[in-house]
Amino acid sequence: MVTSTQALFLGFMAALVVERLVELVLSNRNAARAFARGGVETGQRHYRFMVVFHTLFLVACVAEVFGLRRGFPGAWGWAALAGAVLAQGLRYWAIATLGDRWNSRIIVVPGLAPVTGGPYRFLRHPNYVAVVLELACVPLIHGAWWTALVFSVGNAALLYVRIRAEEAALGEVYAQAFSHRPRFIPEVPRG
């Protein structure tokens, strides 16, 4: 028998799946625009792995909650939900700031200056901060701590590869624009 909190969690996960599908459509549209402007893609090998990894994450969240009969952890679950919602807000702030330049692949259009507004004023990789927060928090909403642990560790390895590839592709202009911004921990400018 499915509990009311499990049903709500399943609804939340279904909403995340729909959100990812909408993001995929947006990403593909923006990637096509980038290619039309002369964009060059790198990082294709790890991108395939990243897609599978994030798909498995969504499945693992549900599988652990239902397969291991994880209960709603009360205050910890509410805190995890708040973290997951915060992650979504940060993700969409980054996406909105990048506009039609956002996509889930590494495509660099020659001659475009890096985007330094929005959350990029405070750190280099706000979308990746959102992903880190999401992978830790979403499973913990309903006590799926194994999923949170395994996918957080896997994501750290994936981000190590991804960020190196992305920063190398963006080159010297990016390095100069972001040389004083931290990668993950926001730093609020003074004055």
Q: In the chain, where are the structural domains located? A: 4-178
- C-alpha 18, offset from chain centre: 15
Residue of 183 and 50 predicted with greater confidence: 50
HSE-CB of 23 using CA atoms within 13 angstroms = 19
The tokens for 140 are: 């913990």
Displacement of CA 44 from its chain's centroid (Å): 17
Asked whether the predicted pLDDT for residue 101 surpasses 70, the reply is yes
Q: What is the pLDDT of residue 181?
A: 72
The helix (run of H) or strand (run of E) holding residue 40 is strand 40-42
The whole-model pTM stands at 0.91
Each residue's pLDDT tens digit, 132-191: 999 999 999 999 999 999 999 999 999 999 999 999 998 888 888 887 776 666 655 555
**Phi, psi dihedral angles at 33 (to 5 degrees):** -65, -40
The top-level CATH class assigned to 4-178 is mainly alpha
Q: Which two tokens stand for residue 128?
A: 């990746």
Q: What is the mean pLDDT of residues 63-73?
A: 96
What lies within 8 Å, CB to CB, of 16 at 6+ separation is 58, 138
CA 85 to CA 4: how far, in whole Å? 20
pLDDT, averaged across the chain? 93
